[in-house]
Amino acid sequence: MKIYFNGKLVDREDAVISVFDHGLLYGDGVFEGIRTYDSLVFRLKEHIDRLYKSADAISLTIPLNKTEMMEAVITTLKANKLSEAYIRLVVTRGPGDLGLDPRKCKKPTIFIIADKIALYPKEFYQKGLDIVTATTKRNLPQALDPRIKSLNYLNNILAKIDAIKSGTAEAIMLTHDDYVAECTGDNIFIVAGGELLTPPTDVGALEGITRDAVIGIARRTDVPVFEKMLRMEDVYGASEVFLTGTAAEIIPVVKVDERVIADGTPGKMTLKLWDEFKKLTKTDGVRY
């Protein structure tokens, strides 16, 4: 495996960062998870745009421009001879000292990993997921905006631990006032009254690339889709529930907090959107 590391391709064991890197010490940095399908990087421009938006939000200047960053992603994929891959692109504040002051970090660290990923077993896509509501609340957007895809993921990890303890693969995170925000690593959608609904991002959800793709598909196929504040009662009473994410893609949910959703099988709208999404992954991106 070859890793892109600060402008060079190095072997996996040589991709080593300093113990003084503020990405390691404080989670001070940003990242993107990106998918490729048959040598097409899905929505690469949108991922890179979001990376730079996140970096701007934390006053982190990336030493490459967007075109150079996209070229670095393609270079890494070609070096590893991967046509189907998951890419982890990370930019940290870089090495500094033991204090918090970001001015002590003179040069950001950039690395890109291209590998394979299977977030959920295939059977979950066919039969659906069981998930729970996390006891861990979503961070207040005014304190740490979840729309910033930062390396500080402890809030999500604690909620993931809630899922693990319950014996499930995912957990819904609620806001401090008990509105649905998102899951630990995925956005959430429900179908109710023939409408496709998802929480607005300003409630505390990431502006997901797959989320945006699904909304676009719904609009093109005349499915009424709306951002709406949701309570858990809305989720329990939905006719369909599914999650979206770069690694997860579109995965149905059939049980939440031991409550069966509708008839307990993946719904028609979920399957329709999944079919349309697969078509999109063949055309919407950068070929290499």
Catalytically active residues are 149
Contact between 94 and 106 under an 8 Å Cβ cutoff? The reply is yes
Provide the 8-state DSSP code for 141: T
Residue 246 CA to its chain's centroid (Å):
5
Whether the CB-CB separation of 240 and 186 falls below 8 Å is answered with no
Fill in the DSSP letter of residue 137: P
Cα separation, 228 vs 91, in Å, equals 33
- Cα–Cα distance between 29 and 9 in angstroms, integer? 21
User: Which value, to the nearest 10 degrees, does the dihedral of the CA atoms of residues 145, 150, 151, 157 take?
Assistant: 40
H or E element, residue 37: strand 29-37
Q: How far are the Cα atoms of 42, 47, 119, 168 from residue 219, in angstroms, in the given order?
A: 20, 21, 27, 32
Contact 72, 64 (CB under 8 A): yes
Phi–psi pair at 10, nearest 5 degrees: -130, 160
